[in-house]
Structure 1
Amino acid sequence: MFNKILIANRGEIAVRIIRACREMGIRTVAVYSEADRDALHTQLADEAVCIGKAQSSDSYLNMERILSATIATKAEAIHPGFGFLSENSRFVEMCEKCNVAFIGPSAEVISRMGNKSEAKNTMRKAKVPVVPGTKEPVYTVEQALEAVKEIGFPVMIKASAGGGGKGMRVAGNEQEFAKLFETAQQESVHSFSDNTMYLERFVENPRHVEVQILADKYGNVVHLGERDCSVQRRHQKMIEESPCIAISDDLRKKMGETAVRAAKAAGYESAGTIEFLLNQSGEFYFMEMNTRIQVEHPVTEFVSGVDLIKEQICIAAGEPLSVQQKDIEIRGHAMECRINAEDPERHFMPCPGKITDLHLPGGNGIRVDTAVYNDYAIPPYYDSMIAKIIVYDKDRRSAIRKMISALGEVAIEGVKTNVDFLYELLNQPDFQEGNITTDFIPQHYPDL
């Protein structure tokens, strides 16, 4: 097992990893930008190293400085969390050259599964169902229009290197296609320095259902049930829950086995997620694989009883999985709400600033993952998510009531947040009845 791990991240996920390491008796190193000098993760870690200025490119995305901090502090491994360098194959290659363990999959797997076109080709070979789409990269409008003749409209335009909803557009007809393709491609170049695109048939009103998997270095792969992440705004998840009430036991078993087959086909090691689109008829299609820990991992931890961060660390240290498939039993219902410093009344504009007063909920079956505190100044340079509230109860209806109660306790003064909007979502009759798809927010809030 590792003696010391450097966490190449910030915010609540850095705090989450530090706490897991503490419980395992592993020392930790935090890295921080000048804007994060007073951040909670720097105070909780055993050591903290400043790696640059506020901008991510000068700090949390600066591979050389992060590796220099790792070597200088004699840390044996790096945990990337999510975002930043967590799915950067070049960074993993650099770690390997420096003899530093990367807590995640290999560079080859990240590269293969990060390229959406190659990932889908890998899944096709493994007989994992995929949405009909292009099998080769697309670079021009002319190429794309030729491909659409076979795929048909409506079509989803996606950046091969994309993520987080960037570089994505839906075209309903040929008249709007060219402009939307060019817009998505420009966004991909700006966000990922990559103009490679691909197309797939747009599945209308699906559920976004993802299956959590764990895979070790010895070929053992298990799934830990699914999460329904359908409630999204502009492809950004807002509420996640497990299990998905639209899935029967037979379908759950089939999706889980398909996710395990997908992970094996990818040669995967570590914690990862296979994301599917589930249509109204119960057919599901591979969408992508996230080769990292997910923001919404706590809901799976609640219903499965497995600590995913600890499992990640043990896998990277060469240990076999601590659980087998027969050990996994999904119990109860868990739900997560993402608390963002943003103003829903102003098109969800980010609202950095100083938190002047803070009260977060507690109680049986309530977990809060956060890195904010009273008088903490939220910097303007990073993602607007400041906390996650996760609840657990015997069934979905009870979990919803508990989440409504928990959100009712939240008091965050000094900055605007989306708490009231989440409260309103949870009280929507369609949400309470489980009538949700990825189009839930646009349907109920067309003016957003």
Structure 2
Amino acid sequence: MPVSLVILAAGQGTRMNSDLPKVLHKLAGAPMLHHAMQAGASLAPERVVVVTGHGADQVAQAALAYDETCLTVLQAEQLGTGHAVAQTLPVLEGFSGDVVVLYGDTPFIQPETLEAMLEARARHAVVVLGFDARDPGRYGRFVTEGDRLVRIVEYKDATEAERAITLCNSGVLCADAGLLRDVLGLLSNDNAAGEYYLTDVPALAAARGLSSGFVICAESETLGINTRAELAQAEAAFQARARAEALDNGVTLTAPETVFFALDTHIGRDAIIGPNVVFGPGVTIESGAEIKAFCHLEGCHVSRGADVGPFARLRPGAELAEFVHVGNFVEIKNAILDEGVKVGHLTYLGDADVGENTNIGAGTVTCNYDGVMKHRTRIGKRAFIGSDTMLVAPVTVGDGAMTGSGSTITEDVPAGAIALGRARQVNKPGLAVKLFERLRAIKASKGKA
């Protein structure tokens, strides 16, 4: 059965005390919205629809950044979850299959849980995700009979007996698309909150002689984020899980509690990650690579056998081939380093291509920006770039070429050539002594004044 995914992301999140829409606050380096989209993507949905409201343009832009094929619809007034899903009906016109409703501020729903909901849909017209709450608080409660969900009652509308129920509603729902089209227009806002609840769908299905079911997941999966404190707790929970998964997958973390992962970090088996390493979005570390202490990486790829750091920074577009060495206080941005390249220390390589087995001396800089545009530096195979070389792009250094230390290279260097771009040294015997004596005298006279 085909699946369409609906993600509700219209809320303002007033308790976040922020101008930023709640679903765009970052968790593990990515907007919360992306976490929900990633979970839903495991179902290979035919259509993905994100319901926007507060900060609609920003939310739509973030949704399209994750999935350029997704659709967005505007909920101009936030009149409840049922009203929000109703806004998606025009773009779901003609779709026949299951609709899964997720929430942009509930980032931890697992793909396995969604699969279980789809399996339960084979037996019921509607399936809702529930959890046994340690403290049910103000959650909606499930009223059940066997494996059937009779109805969901909101806390504000519940009797004392119903409030004693600990099986609570997560809000995540799976239903037949045709049924949703039929019943969403029948929702009533005759309740304590004056809203159109999606939770009324099971009762409306029952009125048609259709059954509803439920799936139970761990309470941790249903964590919704409404405050900065809850966001911090969610970050801690994500990192703890990511570290445990990395260790289980054969990654060495020498100080696990100090390593921070992003939502899409990929690390191969037998890689070694040192203390205080931070992964931003878009990082892949292949098997057998080593990232040493105090490195920051984002948008980069590190191949087998390469080593990075300590105190190195890899920025977006950094591509390190096998057995590349990037040492301390080196920054790489939008640069491709071929196999065996060595960049020992104190160097910036931006917008560059470096051929295999080339050595980059300390203090080398690719001067890639002219104040308006970026330009590329190309260095061939087995070249030797002397320490403190300034490579003023666009410039090419050929295979096997060398630059003298302290050179400023503004013209292409042929293969096999040595390039010297510095002034001739001139020694003035005794002049240093005279100069120091003069400067000390000036300093002394100023002290007496």
Q: TM-score of the superposition, structure 1-length normalised?
A: 0.26
- Higher Rg: 2
More relative contact order, 1 or 2 (CA 8 Å, 6+ apart): 1
